[in-house]
Amino acid sequence: MKTIRSVMAKPLKHKYLLLTLPLFIIPFILFFSFGYPHHQTNRNQPPSGDPDLRIRPVYPSYEAYIKQQLKKTLNPKLRQVWTTKDWDRKIQVFTAFFTDLKHKRLLSNSSKALCIGARVGQEVEALKRVGVTDSVGIDLVPYPPLVLQGDFHCQPFENNTFDFEFSNVFDHALYPNKFVDEIQRTLKPGGVCVLHVALYQRPDKYSANDLYSVGPLVTMFHGSELVYTRPVDGFGLDTELVFRKRENKVIRGP
């Protein structure tokens, strides 16, 4: 019997979603322009204070930043690639990463897992295939049932919700401190966060920051311990960092 996941992967389903995609564009733009709490503009944002983390000064407002991110997320050609040609290839790569983490006992079948900036959810599907069935993703545009709507600067979850969080979109964070704080807030004490970042090659035009060493991330993850870093080859990203939230550290939102 075919599973729900195999049905989702069918080209016909993806074509249907692509045809209906324009119906979703206007509501998302309206939501993030008017219905979402406004952030401080990048122009007035204080510098990180660390030369190894630089915010790109290209966004006059948070709304302009969201609009630019949606250009990529809602691009019909890209979504067609993500849900067809790239679907199985990316799931295989993510499966290898998550299997390695299970062998290191940083992830288990009982983990409640979140993928941040998951687009169409290949990493969520990979987690489910390796046995981590209680997994979900968030992105500006949902892709149900794998990905919920959410902004990683303000995760739509309660404090201390997840055992494991993964992201390969740190470079898209306009406010890196908010990005990290939300991970630490929603991780349970003892929970693990895995980030894939680019240190030795520059990300794409949709990136909002440039990272030149692991130092700034270690500083921002003030409530966690760095478990290890290692080189990886992950879709243009070259470094994996693993953090574990301290057992006695309960971080609550504002």
Give residue 84's domain range. 4-245
Q: Is 43 exposed, middle or buried (0-12, 13-18, 19+ CB in 10 A)?
A: exposed
- pLDDT for res 9: 42
The CATH number for 164's domain is: 3.40.50.150
* In-domain check, residue 167: yes
Count up the domains in the chain and report the number: 1
CA dihedral 141, 100, 112, 170 (to 10 degrees): -40
Please report whether residue 250 resides in a domain.
no
As a whole number of angstroms, the distance between CA 163 and CA 188 comes to 6
Instruction: Give the pLDDT confidence score for residue 187 in this predicted structure.
Output: 98
Structural domain contains residue 191: yes
Question: What is the pTM for the complete model shown?
Answer: 0.82
Q: Retrieve residue 68's tokens.
A: 């630019």
Residues 65 and 68: their CA atoms lie apart, in Å, by 5
Mean pLDDT by 10 residues, the chain (254 residues): 41 45 48 45 48 92 95 92 94 97 98 97 98 98 97 98 98 97 98 95 84 96 98 92 88 64
